[in-house]
């Protein structure tokens, strides 16, 4: 089993990851919670089988209050957080009880927000079971749910006290979702660590026949890409806003399609639109837009025409206007805050160093159309 010391500024959190390491994970959670009489265990219904040995192991040491949720973006709302809080208190959880979140990024965010609110903050343990969660979302203190106007608009910060993943949990993810799920890793490569492109491509190629090796490599890549910035900018309000590359259009797509386009796939499309926008504004060389297309082609995205073509542009524009990065920079009513690239690993920054630009929405929509029509590539 591997142990990474993930630092959110001053605050350190162990990330234990490996293959077939459930017993060590149970031990680690039990050690963390040795002063507790109970734990609140929030689990995605689809991973109940993976949860069984963890529940059995913890159940021998403390009372475990099990809350099962169905992970869908339309459920990622304050009402679900409230239901967890009511359940936890009714079952007798107290300030020493850890909140254990087992599932994808959605479960982690919902349980994370509940942990931040319960008794004004209890310990949070992440047991991620998807690529998005294991390689990316658990490496953040941001906990949030959606409001009607947009994604992740209601939330706060709570660093996890422990992160642990048996990477075999990821093997039950359907292959297509596994591929799009690593789009956040493609984002880390393109926006932050371009020299890691060969590592990423090797890991993606190995997903079919050597998934364990690939998962370990992707986990290490996710941690190493984000760690330096989390150390310097633990609340992701300055230079770490670069983690949002591809997320402006990506989040809008998730909302507009009511979650039909998964988070990973949405981020992949969002990155193509962000690269296209960067090129249209003269920041990014066309050859680098091609590099985006080449890299993301490995994720076997569906045809852009089928996925982006039907999106209602008026609804898309309304959702884009509600993007949660608005307020980080002066943005006119018809401008959209976006992370743009001048080159892989080199964001376009404001004077204060924040990697955000106010982009006229007609440019964003034109870039969206070019991606939807399969244009924008050297051969397109």
Ligand X SMILES: NC(=O)c1ccc[n+]([C@@H]2O[C@H](COP(=O)([O-])OP(=O)(O)OC[C@H]3O[C@@H](n4cnc5c(N)ncnc54)[C@H](O)[C@@H]3O)[C@@H](O)[C@H]2O)c1
Site of interaction with ligand X (CB under 6 A): 44, 46-47, 71, 76, 103-107, 109, 129-130, 132-133, 136-137, 140, 142, 151-152, 169-170, 172-173, 181, 262-264
Which of 112, 344 has the CB closer to ligand X?
112
Which of 152, 318 has the CB closer to ligand X?
152
The answer to whether 50 and 34 are in contact (CB under 8 A) is no
| Listed residue (35, 254, 238, 8) closest to 143, CA to CA | 8
Give me the least distance between CB of 72 and ligand X, in Å please.
7
Give me the least distance between CB of 172 and ligand X, in Å please.
4
Beta strands 38-44 and 99-103 are: parallel
The strand pairing partners of 38, in sequence order, are 63
Give me the least distance between CB of 278 and ligand X, in Å please.
21
Which of 254, 288 has the CB closer to ligand X?
254
Give me the least distance between CB of 76 and ligand X, in Å please.
6
Which of 145, 295 has the CB closer to ligand X?
145
The strand pairing partners of 359, in sequence order, are 336
**DSSP per-residue letters across 140-197:** --EEEEEETTEEEEEEEE---SEEEEEGGGGGGS-HHHHHHHTHHHHHHHHHT-GGGH
Which of 109, 278 has the CB closer to ligand X?
109
Catalytic positions are: 142, 244
235 secondary structure, DSSP code: T
Give me the least distance between CB of 111 and ligand X, in Å please.
11
The distance in angstroms from the start CA to the end CA of the chain is: 45
How far apart (Å, rounded) are the C-alpha atoms in residues 205 and 295?
Answer: 12
Could you tell me how far CA 371 lies from the centroid of its own chain?
23
């Amino acid at each position: 089993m591997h142990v990474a010391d993930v630092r959110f500024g001053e605050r350190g959190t162990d990330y234990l990851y490996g293959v077939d390491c459930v017993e060590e994970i149970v031990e680690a959670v039990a050690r963390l919670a040795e002063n507790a009489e109970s734990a609140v265990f929030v689990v995605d219904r689809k991973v109940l089988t993976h949860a069984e040995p963890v529940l059995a192991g913890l159940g021998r040491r403390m009372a475990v209050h099990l809350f099962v949720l169905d992970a869908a973006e339309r459920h990622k709302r304050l009402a679900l957080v409230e239901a967890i809080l009511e359940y936890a208190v009714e079952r007798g959880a107290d300030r020493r009880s850890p909140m254990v979140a087992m599932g994808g990024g959605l479960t982690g965010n919902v349980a994370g927000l509940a942990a931040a609110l319960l008794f004004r903050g209890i310990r949070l343990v992440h047991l991620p079971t998807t690529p998005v969660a294991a390689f990316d979302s658990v490496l953040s203190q941001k906990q949030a749910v959606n409001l009607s106007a947009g994604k992740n608009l209601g939330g706060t910060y709570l660093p996890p006290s422990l992160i642990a993943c048996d990477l075999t949990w990821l093997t039950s993810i359907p292959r297509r979702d596994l591929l799009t799920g690593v789009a956040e890793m493609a984002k880390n490569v393109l926006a932050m660590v371009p020299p890691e492109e060969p590592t990423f491509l090797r890991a993606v190629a190995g997903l079919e026949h050597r998934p364990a090796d690939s998962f370990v490599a992707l986990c290490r890549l996710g941690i190493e890409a984000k760690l330096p910035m989390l150390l310097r900018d633990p609340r992701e309000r300055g230079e770490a806003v670069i983690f949002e590359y591809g997320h402006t259009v990506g989040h809008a797509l998730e909302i507009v399609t009511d979650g039909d386009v998964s988070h990973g796939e949405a981020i992949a499309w969002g990155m193509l639109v962000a690269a296209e926008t960067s090129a249209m504004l003269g920041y990014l060389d066309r050859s680098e837009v091609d590099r985006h297309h080449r890299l993301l082609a490995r994720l076997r995205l569906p045809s852009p025409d089928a996925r982006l073509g039907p999106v209602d542009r008026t609804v898309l524009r309304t959702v884009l206007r509600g993007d949660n990065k608005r307020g980080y920079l002066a943005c006119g009513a018809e401008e959209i805050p976006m992370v743009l690239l001048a080159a892989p690993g080199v964001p376009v920054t404001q004077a204060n160093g924040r990697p955000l630009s106010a982009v006229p929405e007609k440019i964003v929509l034109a870039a969206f159309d070019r991606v939807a029509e399969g244009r924008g590539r050297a051969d397109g």
